[in-house]
Structure 1
């Protein structure tokens, strides 16, 4: 299981207990409360996290560049 799948599971902890079963080629997640609302919330959290990861991947270098330029500018002004 990678980071992408694990965080939404931990975020589900306040809503329901869950169990993760590792099989040979897959993982099975079961929720104590498997109501449609609970499953919807898990899918929402997973999709939100996946979107954040994609945005981070696509914009990470640009954000790092901006941060470095700002820090360099601050350092130059303080020198």
Structure 2
């Protein structure tokens, strides 16, 4: 069994996060996820929102295979 690592996302996870989001929306029937404009918008969201949304990723064999997030509580 491969080791799983659960950790906070960082900037290097941006493309994996966009790909995972696209897979989720594609499975839900959203075709726009293949549009480069959608992908760039999702990447920009990741960059801008990572300060107020706690994003966690799961790595298996050094590959991000899952991600989740929730709004950070105000301090």
TM-score, normalised to structure 1, is 0.28
Which has a greater percent of strand?
A: 2
Q: Which has the bigger relative contact order, CA under 8 A and spacing at least 6?
A: 2
Larger Rg: 1
TM-score, normalised to structure 2, is 0.29
Which has a greater percent of helix?
A: 1
